[in-house]
Chain A
Amino acid sequence: MKRIEPVIFDLSRSGRGATAQHPPAAETAIPAQFRRRRPPVLPEVSELQAVRHYTRLSQLNYSIDTQFYPLGSCTMKYNPRACNSLAMLPEFLGRHPLAPAATGQGMLACLFELQEMLKAVTGMAAVSLTPMAGAQGEFTGVAMIRAFHRAHGDLARNEIIVPDAAHGTNPATASMCGMKIREIASLANGDVDLAALDAALSPATAGIMLTNPSTLGVFERRITEIERKVHAAGGLVYYDGANLNAILGKVRPGDMGFDVIHTNLHKTFSTPHGGGGPGSGAVGVGERLLPFLPVPVVGRDGDRYRWLDERDLPQSIGQLSGFMGNTGVLLRAYVYMRILGAAGMRRVGEFSTLNANYLLQRLREAGFDAAYPERRASHEFIITLRRQTREQGVTAMDFAKRLLDYGYHAPTTYFPLLVPECLLIEPTETETREELDGFVDALVAIQREAEADAAMLKGAPYTLPVRRLDDVRAAKQLDVAWKPAGA
């Protein structure tokens, strides 16, 4: 498929328009001093032109609905269509966020029950649904940890410990909250180095941010020991829910001793990734952090639901979004959880792990190197192409690009940074065995191509709308907004 679609502005003709969408003209009477002198440059196209243009653009994407999408740490599972259509019932879409709670009892009932279900699956004491993304959930968690120490007069605690395998958001979040970052090493088997942890703990320790299973695709076996050490040092323990899918219904962060967690509803609870958002980063807390939960939270008085705000939670860290968070996303997660039910959620953990371990086993049999061969995979695992880079001169990037030609979205590449030339592969529970087998066949075929003609691989992909793009030019000759010719 070759690129055929111009930028929408290049389709524009002065005086054209999708006029069925234009309301009647009205007298506005805005004084001249406030008026715009030249109209903005926006496309002038017919409705059909717009529909055709964006439909064609959609067809240039790989997506879960069209391709196997084993992007590690992103949980690209099927997004059930029912979740979308039922969250988009007209009454839900039309409701203004500031309308009286009396006109939102149905929506609030869903959100209240979602809070309760999230408490149950995470083992936490309370949940706030307001964070608008995983990164905002992380921010919320660290801000609550900060507020906790402040409330205890413990102003010196300004360090967050982060394992070196952590996602970049963890340190970025800690800095955003004004914390210093102490990075600690991982052992060769993927577990946290407890000696490094001991050395990092101090009276300045505010807390530790952990993902478990970790981004290395393995379960941190000494989690209880870590939790005890950090708590003994006066710090709190934060759970990054990026990989909750792996353990859903099998083990709960609350039982592992975590004080606060964020869940990515767009991963574990299958709300759409939408080309990069919206997400939802609902947070759960243990008793210690309960007073600091961000507002608003759905509360229940008898049989009526209402939003609780700072007047109900005076120690709250406050409000994180213009209104109540991503309600539309929350409704999708609610529908998903109701369709799965308790047994279905346990199966998520089981079958995502089964698929990952099966895929890992098949790839090892086919000659690929597991980064942690002595460990069980969680719902994802890492293979390293260090040997291929040394022997054939092909990189993880080359494998990833060639996979696109075979009709598969590439796994996560070059993350985590600890493992050279890595592919982080997460198949999810919604893929069939045949799909996994096809993916193995593709990687085996690419390995053969690498041995026969490495140069060919370096030019991949060949069959996508574009070949590899010049990123250096994109950054040096910055073109990030269309300008009319001659402007």
Chain B
Amino acid sequence: MPYIPHTDEDIGAMLERIGIRDIDELFDEIPKELRIDSLPGVPAALTEMEVARLMSERAAQDGRPLNFIGAGAYEHHIPAPVWAITTRGEFYSAYTPYQAEASQGTLQVMYEFQSMIASLTAMDVSNASLYDGASALAEACLMAVRAHRRSKSAHILVPVTVNPAWRRVARVITEGQGLVLEELPYCTEQGTTIPQVLERYAGQDITALVIQQPNFFGQLEDADALARWARANGAQVIAVTNPVSLALLTPPGEWGEGGADIACGEAQPFGVPLSSGGPYVGFMATRLEHVRQMPGRIAGRTVDLEGRTGFTLTLQAREQHIRRGKATSNICTNQGLLMTAATIYLSLLGPAGLARVAGACVARTRELVEALTTRCGVRAAFPGPRFHEAVLLLDRPVVPVLESLAAAGIAGGYDLARDFPELGHALLVCATETRTSADIETYARTLHRTLGRAAAAAGVRP
């Protein structure tokens, strides 16, 4: 019996102690007509060895393409210690720290994570993580409505340059509470939000303005100007950032003169593998004055009965297990294991290492854009400055090109046709520090061949 330790003798002795004849009697309160005695549709058991074989075969089927996709999930080097320590049973198989005295490890990691996020974003306080970046943005919108006492409109401006998947998620999660998320157009020449479009909202009751920096295209927004407009017009600022970029870029806490009210995003780049989209780890930080409106777990440092330093969950009265229907969110825990990985990652990289990673991302993406634009006949949709992503324009639909690249072992980017049809045949590409010059050369050569062959097939000279 996999994972069940009972011997026949145990079973007999336990049934006798309870005073019943067989295990089925334990279910005698369940109406008979509801009970089942088999599970059709579930296959028979396999041994660990057999499942290992199956999984290895399935994994081999997927292969390991050379990845040039970003679009919200980024391939970075993960130092060997990160998962060796994160998967220690004491972290892996513990639950959320309800018994603080028996959870000091998890609680201190939370405190350290919060400290790192607060410092990176230049905000006062951080929570101990949320599910992912998309749900963090949704929670930030809900939080802004609670935190902005004077605004009654629940009207939030969201530039189209914010990750489109995250915009969809924010809409689904905030809809029930009547939030209005209104999209702001962008400049199709520059790939950034135009601060002037905000003028039409002057004098209106706007609860918050979302600013993503770098934006979904990898372009740098004029975050200072956007934040200043929000401040001057009584709207809060919700910052969405790639936390790796914060090693180099002005942090949300310093945008404009006043800084952002809430900063959120996806901390997956900090030591969390791509893993087909999850589990990842959202983060959220805010100003001290809004801390009671922030959702999610928060660890605090305090003292014990003997005056020794220790850590505990704090401000729990915001949370669902106490506040029930009036809680800040229904979220029950945080993203503990991934938060642990991110904290270890940041300890290993430190300020200098993270700045190197961020710098390498900028440089590699520039190298990639140069290689593809000079050799493959594609062009960059927008001029710089950009962080580690770029939009390229092709002369033909993107999907067949991506399929052809995939057949050659290259994950060549993300097709923007669904969300940004106005850009034409646009492809979002990304290169992090993990892509070498040789990788970029491979991509350029393969793309050149792919585009050339297709052109030749169509009877056109390349």
Contacts and interface: CB of A to CB of B under 8 A. Distances in A.
Q: A–B direct touch, CB within 8 Å, in complex?
A: yes
Contact of B63 (A19, A31, A103, A431): A103
Contact of A134 (B45, B103, B306, B332): B332
Nearest 6 pairs of A and B residues by beta carbon:
A65-B89, A323-B277, A341-B45, A120-B41, A274-B337, A106-B58
Given A47-B81, A339-B51, A347-B1, 7 more contacts: A9-B115, A47-B79, A100-B403, A136-B135, A139-B173, A348-B4, A478-B300
Interface in B1-25: 1-6, 10-11, 13-15, 17-19, 23
A279 B333 contact: yes
7 contacts: A21-B79, A54-B109, A60-B103, A181-B325, A277-B335, A401-B99, A481-B119
A117 interface: yes
B42 A40 contact: no
A61 B35 contact: no
B325 A36 contact: no
A321 to B, nearest CB: 5
A88 B331 CA distance: 26
Contacts of A317: 172
Contacts of B389: none
B385 A34 contact: yes
Contacts of A328: 273, 275-276, 278-279
B5 A276 contact: no
A321 B134 contact: yes
Contacts of A43: 346-347, 350
A173 B295 CA distance: 13
B430 to A, nearest CB: 9
A61 B320 contact: no
A25 B356 contact: yes
B314 interface: yes
Interface in B303-338: 303-306, 308-312, 314-315, 319-327, 329-338
Contacts of A388: none
Size bracket, chain A contacts: 35 or more
Contact of A40 (B2, B119, B334, B339): B119
A355 B176 CA distance: 42
Contacts of B99: 62, 400-401, 404, 409-410
Contacts of A366: none
A214 B433 CA distance: 51
B166 A276 contact: no
B126 A481 contact: yes
Contact of A468 (B45, B59, B108, B305): B305
Contacts of B94: 61-64, 273-275
A152 interface: no
Interface string A113-145: 000110111000000000011111011000100
Interface stretch (B65-73, B197-205, B370-378): B65-73
B327 to A, nearest CB: 4
- Most chain B CB inside 10 Å of its own CB: which residue of A5, A27, A324, A357: A357
A469 B351 contact: no
B62 A53 contact: no
Interface string A54-79: 11011111111111010100101111
Nearest to A131: B131
